[in-house]
Amino acid sequence: MTYNIALGAMLFGTVVDQQRSFEILDRFVDAGGTWIDTANCYAFWEHPSGFGGQSEELLGRWLARRPGVRDRVRISTKVGCEPLEAGRFPETAEGLSAAAIKNGIEGSLRRLGTDHVDLYWAHKEDRRTPLEETVGAFDELVRAGTVGALGCSNYAIWQVERARNIARTNGWTGFSFLQQHHTYLRPRPGTRPTVVHRFGMVSDEGVDYLESHPDLGLWAYTPLLSGRYTRADKPLPPEYAHSGTERRLAVLDEIATETGTTRNHVVLAWLTGGEPAATPIVGVSTVAQLDEALAGVALVLTPDQRGRLDAAA
């Protein structure tokens, strides 16, 4: 079976040790999973050095110990957020200059032990660097065969449109994927989730832009709110304390009961089957959590169930 899901490897090699990480990766591939998402900065905030690279290094070790598996998976990684000085993020983030992008991909390929990545992301916008320089540097990687496709994450929609227009004007390969935080619940108007970059959440404008540009795919990070849909020990943050959350959770519970599943299953099914359809990035720390996520994206909601979820939204 083919799943519309990406396995988030952010904490592999730090919070999730090598043995468990390998178990999860093996299960993901054996179940038919394809996309694995990481970044060159993962997870600098968890490592004593204050620098990232541990996730890519672990994936590199896994690929080296699984002959032939590189041909069965697609690697997605990012550049732009690795701190240049420990303990000073975001002010010393590497950014998206041509030099930073060149150094970023070289380091990622070395750690991953591969000669290409299938999808390369601008991790967050860099207003210090001309957008033309960033877009041109990414295009060079595609022309060299080092990168398959390009995406941007945590970008304002006007910046996405401008970057894509620069690529069209110059005959360059542009961004064809957008990675933002997206889930069923929404924070109170005027606020945003505390773990999200300023332009990191899918807005109504973003949904409209994606619907108008079907050539731009959406990847959704933190789709399950780090376990907060189902775990009593992880309450929702204050920005979700409003009547809209109560309505949405009530409908989630109704449909979870009807389908014999959980809130997590229903949220993932809503994301993957929606308009625009999203590819959820699921970060898991156990094989059981991975199996739940795979079951969620395999769940097909009826038109009535999806309509009730949308109406509550």
Q: Enumerate the active-site residues.
A: 42
What is the C-alpha to C-alpha distance for residues 29 and 25, in angstroms, rounded to an integer? Answer: 6
3-class secondary-structure state, position 167: helix
Sign of CA dihedral 82, 87, 88, 92: negative
DSSP conformational letter for 165: H
**What is the pairing mode between strands 117-122 and 147-153?**
parallel
Cβ burial of 130 (10 Å; 0-12, 13-18, 19+) is middle
What are the CA-CA distances from residue 257 to residues 52, 196, 251, 289 (Å)?
41, 31, 10, 19
